[in-house]
Amino acid sequence: GQNIDQPTEMTATEGAIVQINCTYQTSGFNGLFWYQQHAGEAPTFLSYNVLDGLEEKGRFSSFLSRSKGYSYLLLKELQMKDSASYLCAVRGLTTDSWGKFQFGAGTQVVVTP
């Protein structure tokens, strides 16, 4: 199985940078994904990593270290609309978990003026 941990809530000011950490323990790993979810809506894909290193997509970047079971999502130039829950999800690899996602509890980011 997979244990996925991320902080419950983070607060930052508009224009700042926030880093959301995610640690995981898994028996089979086939990628780590980050999603954004606004209240009452479905998650939207932000970024993913399969190999170690940094992936940059505009204001969002994600980093992965497989040996450490660690990832982070970096949000730069924060905007008010970035206030949302950010979900870390691990995709399974084993026969009975292929394609399955296990989600962390989510980190609620609050952006203040």
Partner 1 sequence: GAVVSQHPSWVICKSGTSVKIECRSLDFQATTMFWYRQFPKQSLMLMATSNEGSKATYEQGVEKDKFLINHASLTLSTLTVTSAHPEDSSFYICSARDYKLAGVGNEQFFGPGTRLTVL
Q: Which residues bind partner 1 (CB under 8 A)?
A: 31, 33, 40-45, 48, 50, 87, 96, 99-106
Going by the DSSP 8-state scheme, the letter that residue 87 receives in this structure is: E
Nearer to partner 1, 95 or 113 (CB): 95
* Shortest CB 15 distance to partner 1, Å: 27
Pick 91 or 111: Cβ nearer partner 1: 91
CB 6 to partner 1: min, Å: 9
Q: Which is nearer to partner 1, 66 or 100 (CB)?
A: 100
User: To the nearest whole angstrom, how small is the minimum distance from the Cβ of residue 69 to partner 1?
Assistant: 18
Smallest gap from Cβ 93 to partner 1, in A, equals: 11
The CA–CA distances, whole Å, from 99 to 20, 36, 108 equal 24, 19, 26
Take residue 1 and report the two structure tokens written for it.
Answer: 């199985």
**Distance between CA atoms of residues 50 and 92, nearest Å:** 11
Nearer to partner 1, 15 or 53 (CB): 53
Are 83 and 109 in contact by the 8 Å Cβ rule? The answer is: yes
Using a 10 angstrom Cβ sphere, with 0-12 exposed, 13-18 middle and 19 or more buried, the burial of residue 99 is: exposed
